[in-house]
Every structure is written in structure tokens, then in C-alpha cells.
Amino acid sequence: MTPSAPDIRVLVVDDDPAIREALARTLKKLGFDVLLAEDGQAGLDRLREGGVHIILADLQMPKVSGQELLRAAKTLAPDVEVIVITGHGTVEDAVEAMKEGAYDFITKPFKRVQLEQTIRRAAEKQTLALQNRRLQARLDELQGSGRIIGASPAMIRTLELVGQVAPSRVTVLIQGESGTGKELIAGAIHHGSPRRDRSLIKVSCAALPETLLESELFGYERGAFTGAVARKEGRFELADGGTLFLDEIGELTPAMQAKLLRVLQEGEFERLGGTHTIKVDVRLVAATNADLDALVREKRFREDLFYRLNVIAIPLPPLRERQEDISLLAHHFLRRFAAKNAKVIAGFTEEALDVLQTYAWPGHVRELENVVERAVVLTRSPLITPADLPETLTGSEQAARHLVISIGTPLEEVEDRLIEETLRYTRGDKTIAAKLLGIATRTIYRRMKGEAEPPATE
Ligand SMILES: Nc1ncnc2c1ncn2[C@@H]1O[C@H](COP(=O)(O)OP(=O)(O)OP(=O)(O)O)[C@@H](O)[C@H]1O
Ligand SMILES: [Mg+2]
């Protein structure tokens, strides 16, 4: 038997208890994990719970027939192989079943050899498919968190821009809210550049206090400070010939901003406690979820550094503004997590997709990724349903997305209520609410203070 037979779960569906038991015994001897169902309806119920790889079903059963079970299986869980059992003299039915997508058929009374051969071939096919899916998942991981998915106009523009700037050495600034895919894009820029075989070094400017960050970036000489017992190379040196990804650049202190500016301008620096000037060839990619323009205006971020970093700007829009990407990403994550968890899940029900499409996604792609992983782990059916999604997406907030307004309500009142409800939906975030409503944030402030909208003069 294939070494992985215990990984393969066979669902035996037959209304004749004697045959059911005989099949179960044989299959268990062959090393399979066996489930039993006493008729087509029970078989269908069990199939919906997921985790079945092969179905062995009698064609003639009361209520739900083998043929109907086959059809349901092919839509609910197309990856499951179905082998039908047919009485002698009814081979036409078996041929019909083959046309509908059955893997094979065996005739009653069956010979053990025939049963063994058929089920082994189906099992091998399933094992291969499973291994393939696991391999694909590993490949995705190896490719540095995987392919970039996107078909929305915004993502297509972004990917074109990435393709254009990647081959050069130009400094790139990626701006977007948390979870929009900044690190993924940084990886793509490195992998699309001639530096791809050298290191991509990542440093988060927010993770470390100033002094630690400084020694991380520039390294130190022995004795530079208490505890510096040996010389240490900094990230700039490690990234020589490659790419340095500076994440959360908006968090840099003024002193660090000045030091970074010097490296950008002159391509050189000294280690802490060192006098020897080090030259490196590093391509810099920076990212931030802060509004750097605003920080510059508030004099919290150096303007000269900003212009050095912002040679090429890649903005990553919020997920809710990339409608076309939601379903693509959801299916992408579904395939990845189904493989990782060795589950056979064909897709989402229409209702579930609808929930995903209409949610506001404050956590963007990362939130979607987490929602899909949770659903894959929790679901007991071959299709993800709204019940598998967290309540924040489906529960009371779902109801809060609709507003009932009586005919004849004064317009001003309608607007006030709409603004109020939208704010409740965005949990008080006025910027997001303004975006959803297509108005200026200050309009919301004004309306909340009860002031009437001044005539539009701007
Ligand atoms: N277009 C995409 N296609 C496929 N996966 C994506 C895409 N965008 C983001 N992801 C995935 O979503 C998750 C979050 O992305 P990433 O870490 O790049 O976001 P980020 O903008 O750097 O977030 P933060 O500001 O919180 O660090 C990652 O697992 C990433 O692989
Ligand atoms: Mg990040």
C-alpha cells in the first residue's frame, strides 16, 4: 500500500449493512481511515463536514441516490474522488456515473482484487494531489511570503511601477496603512533587481530605541560602549551590494534622521566608536504607515530626508478601495491555508463572498488573511459559509450597515443620521468615515458640532 494510506479517508455509503461492514473491514486492512454512512443523505451530510478524500457509494439507495450524491460531491468538493458500486446488469448506470465525473466503478458482488486495485489507484491520485498542494504551499512560503495578488486598477498600476523601478538603484518610499502589503512590495522590488542574489536586510525603525537602532544600523567598534566586547558590523554593511528595507521610517528620531541623511547623500558612515569611514553600496527601500507629508509640515520629519527617500513613491491604497482584489486574495489565502492544514475546501458560498466584499477591512490584507485562515481551520464543510466568519464581519455590525429611512424625512436629518451611523460603523474613525461618504473630514467635524454646512465656495 502507498505509505500514506492512513492520510486518506474513505467514506463508504451503502444502505446494505452487510456490504458496508465488509467494505469497511477490507479498507481498514488496507490501511485506510474509514467512515460509514447508511444512506445517500447521511453520506451527503458527512461529506459537508469535510476531510473526505474518496467516496465509495452504492448507486441504488433510497432518498438520495448514489448518482445524486456523486453530483453533489462534484460541486461541493470537486477534489474528492467518487467510486460507484453497481449491481450486475446495471453497468449502463455505472457508465452514466463515469460521464458525470465518477473516478471508476466496481460491480457487485465484488472481487477483492478489483476493489483493492481501484481504491489504490484513487488513493494514489489523492496522495499526489495532497502532496502537490503541500508543495505549492511551501513554494509560496519560500518565495518570500509568496506571489503578489491583485487585479484592481490600483494594484495593476502598483505592480507596473514595481516592475519599472526594481531594476534600478533608485530609493523607493512605500506608503500605506498597516497590513496593505508594504513589506511584500519591498521584497518584490529586491527580487526584481539585479541585487536579488545579495541580501535583503530588514530593519524596523519603530522596534528599537534610538541608541540600539543606531548600533544595529551602523555597527560598533570594540569598546564603543559598555558591553561592546567585540566589533560588530551593522545592517548597512550586511546589506552591501543588496537592499536595505527600513520599515516604519516615520518613527526615526531627529538625530537618526540626520545620520541616515548623511549615508544617503555620501554613501558613507562610521561604526559607533570608530574613526574609519566605511563606504557601502546599498539600495534603500523605506516604508511607513504614517503620513510623512504631514510629519514634514509639522517639522517632525526632515524635509531634505523626505525628498531623498521619496524619489519614487509607491502608495498602497486601503483594501476596501481595491474591490476586485478581495475575492482574488480570499481564494489565494484559502488555497494556501487549506493545503497547510491538509483540508479539502473548494471555495466560498456566495453569501460568504458577499460578506467579505462588503466589509470595510480596517486591517486590510493582513486582516483578510487572518479571517480566511481562521475560517479554514474552523470550517467543517467543503465551502466556507458566513458562519465560519468572525462576528465582526457578520454579526450586529452587518445590521448596522443598513439604514431605514422613512419617505419624507428632511434631507438634513437623513445626512446627519447617515454620518452618525457611518461613524458608528468605522468605530468613530472620522477619516475613514469621510472617505466612505465621499466628503471632507472637516465636514464631519462641523456637522457633529451641529453647524450647518457653509455654501461651497472653495
Ligand atoms: N497583494 C497581496 N497579495 C498577496 N498577499 C498579500 C498582498 N498584500 C499583502 N499580502 C499579505 O498580507 C500580509 C500583510 O502584508 P505586509 O506585511 O506586507 O503588510 P505591511 O503593509 O508591511 O503591514 P505593517 O505596516 O503592519 O507592517 C502578509 O502576509 C502579506 O503576505
Ligand atoms: Mg510591514
The pLDDT of residue 76 is above 60: yes
Lowest mean pLDDT among 75-79, 148-152, 230-234, 306-310: 75-79
pTM of the prediction?
0.62
Lowest mean pLDDT among 247-261, 297-311, 323-337, 386-400: 386-400
360-409 pLDDT, tens digit per residue, is 999 999 999 999 999 999 998 889 999 999 988 886 555 556 777 778 88
- pLDDT attached to residue 142: 47
The pLDDT of residue 458 is above 60: no
Rounded CA-CA distance 286/383 in Å is 40
- pLDDT attached to residue 451: 57
- Residues 305 and 260: beta-carbon distance below 8 Å: yes
The pLDDT of residue 140 is above 90: no
Rounded CA-CA distance 140/137 in Å is 5
Residue 422 Cα to ligand 1 midpoint, Å, equals 27
- pLDDT attached to residue 399: 53
Give the atom of ligand 1 at the shortest distance from the alpha carbon of 181: 18
List of domains in the chain: 5-142 (3.40.50.2300), 153-316 (3.40.50.300), 322-390 (1.10.8.60), 403-458 (1.10.10.60)
Query: To the nearest whole percent, how much of the chain has pLDDT over 90?
Result: 53
Write out the H or E segment, with its range, that includes residue 304.
helix 303-309
Which residues make up the environment of ion ligand 2, defined by Cβ < 5 Å? 182-183
Q: Where are the alpha helices (DSSP H) in 310-378?
A: 323-340, 350-358, 364-378
Q: Best substitution site from 155, 189, 327, 366 to test ligand 1's pocket, by max atoms within 8 Å of Cβ?
A: 366
